[in-house]
């Protein structure tokens, strides 16, 4: 598929995350101190939208059952049960556009 535009840098401010739909897949894009990261937006526990949860540093906390994932690599950080990591995607910035590589 290649690089798909996820938004403008002005739309994803430091410490924030957004959900974008790319080819029917919901992707979470986070800005951590000017660095952009992308993972699947659906929690691997019950399918909640992670972009509706909380972002603290680089940890995304699911709003439904508090599963925590590292937005830099999609790895599970904390949850009472072992669940699947998130898929993570490469992100590039060109001028003021944020691209996700699918």
Arithmetic mean of pLDDT, 45-60: 97
Q: Where are the domains of the chain?
A: 3-101
CATH code for the structural domain at 3-101: 2.102.10.10
Arithmetic mean of pLDDT, 41-62: 97
Arithmetic mean of pLDDT, 34-63: 97
Residue 99: count other Cβ atoms within 10 Å of its Cβ: 20
Average pLDDT, the chain: 96
pLDDT digits (tens, 9 = 90+) for 76-98: 999 999 999 999 999 999 999 99
Instruction: Say if residues 45 and 67 touch (Cβ distance below 8 Å).
Output: yes
Share of the chain above pLDDT 90, in %: 94
The region, left, alpha or beta by phi > 0 then psi within -120 to 50, assigned to residue 21 is beta
């Amino acid at each position: 598929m290649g690089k798909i535009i996820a938004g403008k840098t002005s739309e994803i401010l430091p410490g924030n995350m957004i959900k974008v739909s790319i080819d029917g897949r919901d992707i979470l894009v986070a800005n951590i101190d000017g660095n952009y990261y992308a993972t699947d937006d659906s929690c691997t526990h019950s399918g909640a939208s992670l972009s509706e949860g909380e972002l603290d540093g680089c940890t995304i906390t699911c709003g439904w059952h508090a599963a925590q994932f590292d937005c830099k690599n999609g790895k599970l950080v904390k949850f009472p049960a072992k669940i699947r990591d998130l898929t993570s995607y490469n992100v590039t910035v060109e001028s003021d556009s944020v691209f996700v590589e699918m």
